[in-house]
Amino acid sequence: MKKTLKDIDVKGKKVIVRVDYNVPLDAGLNITNDKRIVATLPTINYLLQQNAAVILIAHLGRPKGKAVDSMSLKPVAPKLAELLGKPVKFVGKDVISAEAKKAAADLKSGEILLLENLRFHPEEEGKNAAGEKDKAALDAFAKELASLGEVFVQDAFGTVHRAHASTAGIVKYVKDAAAGFLVEKELKFLGEALDKPVKPFVAILGGAKVSDKINVIENLLNKVDAIIIGGAMAYTFLKSQGIGTGTSLVEDDKLDLAKELLKKAADKKVNFLLPVDHVVADKVDFVNKAVPAGAKVEITSDASIPAGFMGVDAGPKSIEKFGEVVKSAKTIVWNGPLGIFEIPEFAKGTVEIAKLAAEATDKGAISVVGGGDSVSAVKKAGVDKRITHISTGGGASLEFLEGKELPGIAALPEK
C-alpha cells in the first residue's frame, strides 16, 4: 500500500501538491467548469488545518514546452480563492523562476501559493530545450521543483499515468511523499473493483474504437462475469461474426483480433454481450453533431445493419438485454458511450445504461464510471450522485483498467 496523506508528517511543513487544474477556459479565459478545482479542496483544507504552507503545481493544456499566455494558470488562483474562502498567491513567472522560488521560500504556514503551468517547461514531459527526449533534463527539473518545499503530495489523478517530472520524477528529491485524498479515493474504488470485486462483476465498454480498449478488454476478461460492448466498437465485433454493419464505423484491421477476444471470452465463460438491435441512420453530421435534415433514422429488427445505414446507438432490445445483466450486478465498471451520445437523438442507449447503473447502485452495487463521455452521460441522465465513484482521470482510469502500472503512483513510497 502506498503512503497516503495521513501517513506523513505535514504539520507546519512546506508541502508541494501536484494538482490537476487542467480546466476548460472560454475565449475570455473564464473557467467554464471548476470540478477539477473542487476535487482538490479536501487535500488543501486538510493541509491548512495542519498549518502547512501549500505550494500547488499543475499544468493546463498542451503548451508544448513554451510559455503560452492563453494557457497560464492565472485564472485558477481567484477561483480557488473563492472556493476556499482564503487568498491564493500566484506567481506569473515560470514555476522554477527566482520569483517563484522566493514566493515559496517566503510562504508561511496556512498560506497557499499557486505556481505557473509546469508544461511551459519541456523538461516536465522529459524533453530538453531542443525538444529531444532527455531523462537528465527531466531529473534536473524535478529536483528544482522538489527544492520549492519539503514534502510532496500527489493529488493529480488525471496525470499519474504519465512519467513526468511533477509526477514520478520529483518523489526521489523530497523528504517524504504520499497520495493526496483524491488519488487515494481513486485508487481505493478502482483498485477494489478490480482486485476484489463483489460478484457478479460487469464491465460496460463503449466508445469509438476497439483498438483503444483492447488491453482493457483483455485484462477485464480475467476478472469479470460479463462484458457489455456498445458504441462503434461493437460493429467490429459484429462484422467479425459475419453480421452486416452497413456504413458503420468498423476497424477492418481488427476483425481477427475481435474474433480472438470473443473466443477468449467463451473459453473463460465470460458472458460477452453485443447489441442485438440498433438505432441506425443513413446520414450523420459528425462536424456539427447533428442529424442532417432529411436523414432517415430507423431501428433495426436484429443485429444486422442494412447497406447504406450506420449504427449510431444501441436499440431497445439491446438496452433491455444489457439491463438484465446490469441490474443483477454487484460491481459495475463503465467506460465509454454506447452510441454517438453527443447527438441527443442518439444518446438514449448511453443515458439508459447510466440509469441502470444507478439503479443497481441503489440496490447495493459498487459502480465506478470513468472516461469523459461516460461521466457526462451520468450527469446528463441526472444520476451522477447515485454512482459510487466517478473517476476524475480518463486516461489514467483506462490504464488502471488495463492493469498497467501508473508511474505517478509507482513512484510514491510504500507505507
| Site for ligand AMP contains 305 (CB under 6 A) | no
CB 358 to ligand AMP: min, Å:
20
| Site for ligand AMP contains 149 (CB under 6 A) | no
- Closer Cβ to ligand AMP, 83 or 208, answer by number: 208
CB 210 to ligand AMP: min, Å:
9
Give the Å distances, CA to CA, from 290 to 6, 250, 312, 372.
49, 21, 12, 20
| Site for ligand AMP contains 336 (CB under 6 A) | yes
Show the CA angle centred on residue 156, arms to residues 152 and 158, nearest 5°.
150
Give dist(CA 122, CA 145) in Å, integer: 14
DSSP states of 171-234: GGGSSEEEE-HHHHHHHHHHHHHHHSPPSSEEEEE-SS-HHHHHHHHHHHHTT-SEEEE-STHH
Residues 6+ apart with CB under 8 A from 185: 389
CB 42 to ligand AMP: min, Å:
28
- Closer Cβ to ligand AMP, 104 or 203, answer by number: 203
Catalytic, out of 86, 101, 209, 317:
209
Query: Would the annotation count 18 as a binding residue?
Result: no
Query: Would the annotation count 119 as a binding residue?
Result: yes
Please give the backbone phi and psi of residue 257, each rounded to the nearest 5 degrees, phi first. -65, -40
AA identity, residue 278: H
Q: Considering only residues 360-379, where is the footprint of ligand AMP by CB under 6 A?
A: 371, 373
Q: Quick one: 308 exposed, middle or buried, by C-beta within 10 A (0-12, 13-18, 19+)?
A: exposed
CB 279 to ligand AMP: min, Å:
9
Cell triple for residue 122? 519541456
- Inter-residue contact 195 to 401 (CB < 8 Å): no
Strand residues in 261-364 grouped as ranges (E): 271-273, 278-281, 297-299, 310-314, 331-335
Q: Please indicate whether residue 395 is annotated as part of the active site.
A: yes
| Site for ligand AMP contains 63 (CB under 6 A) | no
Residue from the set 63, 339, 370, 408 that interacts with ligand AMP by CB under 6 A: 339
Query: Would the annotation count 62 as a binding residue?
Result: yes
| Site for ligand AMP contains 246 (CB under 6 A) | no
* Nearest residue to ligand AMP, scored by beta-carbon proximity: 207
| Site for ligand AMP contains 315 (CB under 6 A) | no
| Site for ligand AMP contains 399 (CB under 6 A) | no
Catalytic, out of 14, 36, 239, 348:
36
Q: Please choose, out of 51-59, 117-125, 292-300, 339-347, the segment that lies near ligand AMP by the rule CB under 6 A.
A: 339-347
Instruction: Provide the sign of the torsion angle of the four alpha carbons 325, 331, 333, 337, taken in this order.
Output: positive
CB 205 to ligand AMP: min, Å:
9
Show the CA angle centred on residue 362, arms to residues 357 and 367, nearest 5°.
40
Give dist(CA 3, CA 9) in Å, integer: 11
Q: Where are the alpha helices (DSSP H) in 6-68?
A: 35-38, 41-49
Catalytic, out of 92, 244, 395, 403:
395
- Closer Cβ to ligand AMP, 149 or 207, answer by number: 207
Give dist(CA 325, CA 266) in Å, integer: 17
Q: Please indicate whether residue 308 is annotated as part of the active site.
A: no
Cell numbers 487544474: residue:
21
Q: Please indicate whether residue 209 is annotated as part of the active site.
A: yes
Give dist(CA 208, CA 372) in Å, integer: 13
Q: Considering only residues 216-235, where is the footprint of ligand AMP by CB under 6 A?
A: 231-232
Residue from the set 192, 342, 345, 359 that interacts with ligand AMP by CB under 6 A: 342
Please give the backbone phi and psi of residue 290, each rounded to the nearest 5 degrees, phi first. -150, 165
Q: Considering only residues 163-192, where is the footprint of ligand AMP by CB under 6 A?
A: none
CB 162 to ligand AMP: min, Å:
18
Q: Which residue numbers belong to the known binding site? A: 20-22, 36, 59-62, 119, 162, 213, 311, 342, 371-374
Q: Which residue numbers belong to the known binding site for ATP? A: 213, 311, 342, 371-374
Q: Which residues are catalytic?
A: 36, 209, 372, 395
Binding site for ligand AMP (CB under 6 A): 207-209, 212, 231-232, 249, 311-312, 336-337, 339-340, 342, 371, 373
